[in-house]
Amino acid sequence: MNDRRLVILTEGRLDVFSAKTAVSIIRYRREDVVALVDQVNAGKDPESIIGIGKGIPIVGSIEETLHLKPTGLLIGIAPPGGMLPDGWRKHITDALKNRLHVISGLHCHLGNDSEFCKLAQDNQLDIWDVRKPPENIPIGTGKAKETKTVRILTVGSDCNIGKMVTSIEITNAAKKRGINACFVATGQTGIMIEGSGIAVDHVISDFISGAVEKLVLDRNHYQLLSIEGQGTIIHPAYSGVTLGLLHGAAPQGIILCHQPARKTLRHFPAFPILPLPDLIELYEKLAQPVHPCKVLGISLNCFGMSDRDALQEIQKVEKETDLPAVDPIKFGVNKFMDSIHSLLP
Amino acid sequence: MNDRRLVILTEGRLDVFSAKTAVSIIRYRREDVVALVDQVNAGKDPESIIGIGKGIPIVGSIEETLHLKPTGLLIGIAPPGGMLPDGWRKHITDALKNRLHVISGLHCHLGNDSEFCKLAQDNQLDIWDVRKPPENIPIGTGKAKETKTVRILTVGSDCNIGKMVTSIEITNAAKKRGINACFVATGQTGIMIEGSGIAVDHVISDFISGAVEKLVLDRNHYQLLSIEGQGTIIHPAYSGVTLGLLHGAAPQGIILCHQPARKTLRHFPAFPILPLPDLIELYEKLAQPVHPCKVLGISLNCFGMSDRDALQEIQKVEKETDLPAVDPIKFGVNKFMDSIHSLLP
């Protein structure tokens, strides 16, 4: 994971939500990124499109990045279904031909593609399919709740709404307070940032809870585990992953992530987002039989709003839920940290 | 699936719950079964152990079944984790050497085992790993709710409690009323009985709902789909499968399955079973955002109780829940059928 000089491929999809992986790598591993490949946005500055990444060149091809001596190509999107978009194949073969490793979080494993595989072998390169789970994940047992470590899980009112960012920010805030804290990655982007974890949406479904439990048990020497959530409990496609994660993590505390501007599920306009009080009740009731826990706060994704509007939204949500609310990117997560700190033995 | 002459392997695990697969095949495909292999119970009559299967010989080895001209060996158990128990390997190699096909619902695919695979190839035999999902299952979209077919899903207060049996009995009762009904199998035993279906606990977790939705959409020419549920919503290991199934099926009606004698989750004694009214509320609230539905009745597994005690239990549950209750094996599911019938357009 060290000494990485990454080119990130976003090819026409560079926006805050579609290119979540690219944006998060730029936010948390800025020092690793040497260029973006995106024909549609070539020549622009990333900051003008996604608000961060000032100065990273956006170019139209792998060839144009070679003078920057890149060591790897990272696939910067996580589309629903996780397939390789049409037209991206050439960028990947170009990268391998030019001796770049490939890092991908797609559901389809690039390492299983015969052309990519041969190029990688011929050039002694790695294809890291981040979503590929480890072998021999056990069935869940409910044992996470017996560990002494404090487990804080982020959950959401939808997918792609700020759960990973919130979990990382909580980890960083806890470390600043001197707490021995660990970010527990459960999705492809989190794993790329942290360098470890399991993409729970890619394990066989009977083993979702077991995978999360393994992540917790393997890290039970930490005082605090800040566990990345996935999906939402009412999602027509992904709710199973969300609930398995909740029960496998057996958290003492939950942070509910939400985007005020979003009224229906992303990519699923027929499905309204549930009111926050209903979501809080549902998550707490579902957690209860495995391990009782409370929602400790609301993390708001106020992307695109002014600071003043965001503050107004925060106040509104605090009144509605009687819980502390933050925007982790605009104002940090300090408001959560006293209640999290108080859970430590 | 026709002209099967099956030997069922239960090897020391022949009881109603551990050998659920064997018991269900005997109940619903009695005509296919020529013998059981179970050294511990050899010489006994199955009826004395599991209440059904009178006259099926129980023997100690594959060799002792050969005079019955079997065509296949069926693995009769579905243990947690789904691994092949120690000591069972010899029975499988014996079967293949004696030209029997193998049917298995274990998580570990027997077709991937090099020894079994070679024997099967040499003898031109099939190894049917029932849990192996089809390729290219799509992501869920919530589209099941747009079909005109009536979708009735069984859910449970625990695993291994009567969901598959209830769904099959509802299908059969509906057919008797002249309804064009189909049993939708979502687990290995159901698939072995029906000859089609997807073991949703074995798909990649992002695709649970999509798998169930595919089963529904592929069968939307039926008037009624009686969909087999899995697990329970509060299970520390399997809740994700349960919820993904609920949202993928988008049922109009739910039947809640329960065993009165069971106080804690099977194999998980630290986890009490939730009171039925709490479970009803939780299932209905979780279903609501994807597709509103009601619990229509309670299916009780009164195995081991006298008919009189079972009737008392049924009355008690009807009072507690204000819903019709049945034991599908002892008394049939007729009590449910008027409310299910009334859902047809």
Domain with residue A150: its CATH number is 3.40.50.300
- Taking contacts as CB-CB distances below 8 angstroms, the residues of chain B near A80 are 139
List helix spans (H) across A29-113. Answer: 46-50, 89-97
Cα–Cα distance, A289 to A286 (Å, whole number): 7
Look at residue B137 and tell me if it is in a domain.
no
pLDDT averaged over every residue in chain B: 95
Q: What is the mean pLDDT of residues B148-156?
A: 98
104-123 in chain B: CB under 8 A from chain A: 107
Domain that holds residue A264: 143-341
Q: What is the mean pLDDT of residues A135-156?
A: 95
Q: Say whether both B211 and B255 belong to one domain.
A: yes
Question: What pLDDT does B87 receive?
Answer: 85
Q: Say whether both A206 and A261 belong to one domain.
A: yes
Token pair, residue B141, equals: 């979209």
Task: Kindly state the greatest CA–CA separation across chain B.
Answer: 61
Look at residue A138 and tell me if it is in a domain.
no
Last residue of a domain, one of B129, B162, B180: B129
With CA atoms as reference, the chain B residue closest to A264 would be B289
pLDDT at A126 over 50: yes
Q: How confident is the model at residue A1 (pLDDT cuts 50, 70, 90)?
A: very low
Nearest CB to B285; choose among A82, A142, A282: A282
Nearest CB to A271; choose among B138, B244, B289: B289
Look at residue B331 and tell me if it is in a domain.
yes
Question: What pLDDT does A2 receive?
Answer: 52
Q: Do A204 and B206 touch (CB under 8 A)?
A: no
Provide the 10 A C-beta neighbour count for residue A16.
16
Q: Say whether both B197 and B265 belong to one domain.
A: yes
pLDDT averaged over every residue in chain A: 95
Q: Say whether both A118 and A147 belong to one domain.
A: no
Q: What is the mean pLDDT of residues A51-69?
A: 97
Q: What is the mean pLDDT of residues B29-46?
A: 96
Q: Say whether both B213 and B280 belong to one domain.
A: yes
- Taking contacts as CB-CB distances below 8 angstroms, the residues of chain A near B250 are 236
pLDDT at A3 over 80: no
> What CATH number is attached to the domain comprising B103?
3.40.50.720
Q: Say whether both A69 and A101 belong to one domain.
A: yes
Q: Say whether both B251 and B108 belong to one domain.
A: no
Instruction: Choose among A200, A218, A140: nearest CA to A164.
Output: A200
**pLDDT tens for each residue of B215-254:** 999 999 999 999 999 999 999 999 999 999 999 999 999 9
Percent of chain A with pLDDT over 70: 99
Contact call for residues B225 and B152 (beta carbons, < 8 A): yes
From the number of C-beta atoms within 10 Å of its C-beta (0-12, 13-18, 19+), residue B111 rates as middle
Cα–Cα distance, A97 to B183 (Å, whole number): 52
Look at residue A331 and tell me if it is in a domain.
yes
Q: Which residues pair with B156 in a beta bridge?
A: B257
Q: Total structural domains in chain B?
A: 2
Q: How confident is the model at residue B15 (pLDDT cuts 50, 70, 90)?
A: confident
Look at residue B153 and tell me if it is in a domain.
yes
**pLDDT tens for each residue of B126-135:** 999 999 999 8
Q: Say whether both B277 and B196 belong to one domain.
A: yes
From the number of C-beta atoms within 10 Å of its C-beta (0-12, 13-18, 19+), residue B118 rates as exposed
Under 8 Å CB pairs connecting chains A and B tally to 157
Q: What is the mean pLDDT of residues B120-130?
A: 96
Q: How confident is the model at residue A308 (pLDDT cuts 50, 70, 90)?
A: very high
The predicted model scores a pTM of 0.93
199-238 in chain A: CB under 8 A from chain B: 200-206, 208-210, 233-238
Q: Say whether both B50 and B151 belong to one domain.
A: no
Q: How confident is the model at residue A86 (pLDDT cuts 50, 70, 90)?
A: confident
Question: What pLDDT does B79 receive?
Answer: 78
Span between the terminal Cα atoms of chain A, in Å? 33
From the CA of B279, how many Å to the nearest CA of chain A?
A: 10
Q: How many CA atoms lie within 13 A of A122 on its CB side?
A: 11
Look at residue B68 and tell me if it is in a domain.
yes
Look at residue B99 and tell me if it is in a domain.
yes
User: What value of ipTM does the predicted structure carry?
Assistant: 0.92
Q: Say whether both B322 and B283 belong to one domain.
A: yes
pLDDT at B89 over 90: yes
Q: Do B202 and A201 touch (CB under 8 A)?
A: no
From the CA of B242, how many Å to the nearest CA of chain A?
A: 7
Last residue of a domain, one of A104, A129, A154: A129
Last residue of a domain, one of A129, A159, A188: A129
Percent of chain B with pLDDT over 90: 92
Question: Does A263 contact chain B (CB < 8 Å)?
Answer: no
Q: Do A240 and B82 touch (CB under 8 A)?
A: no
Q: Say whether both B267 and B178 belong to one domain.
A: yes
Q: Do A290 and B272 touch (CB under 8 A)?
A: no
Cα–Cα distance, B289 to B188 (Å, whole number): 29
Contact call for residues B262 and B291 (beta carbons, < 8 A): no
Instruction: Choose among B149, B160, B141: nearest CA to B182.
Output: B149
Question: What pLDDT does B2 receive?
Answer: 52
List helix spans (H) across B123-223. Answer: 163-176, 188-194, 208-217
Look at residue B205 and tell me if it is in a domain.
yes
Contact call for residues A249 and A153 (beta carbons, < 8 A): yes
Q: Say whether both A155 and A108 belong to one domain.
A: no
Q: Which residues pair with A73 in a beta bridge?
A: A7, A102
Q: What is the mean pLDDT of residues A6-31?
A: 92
Q: Do A271 and B282 touch (CB under 8 A)?
A: no
Question: What pLDDT does B1 receive?
Answer: 46
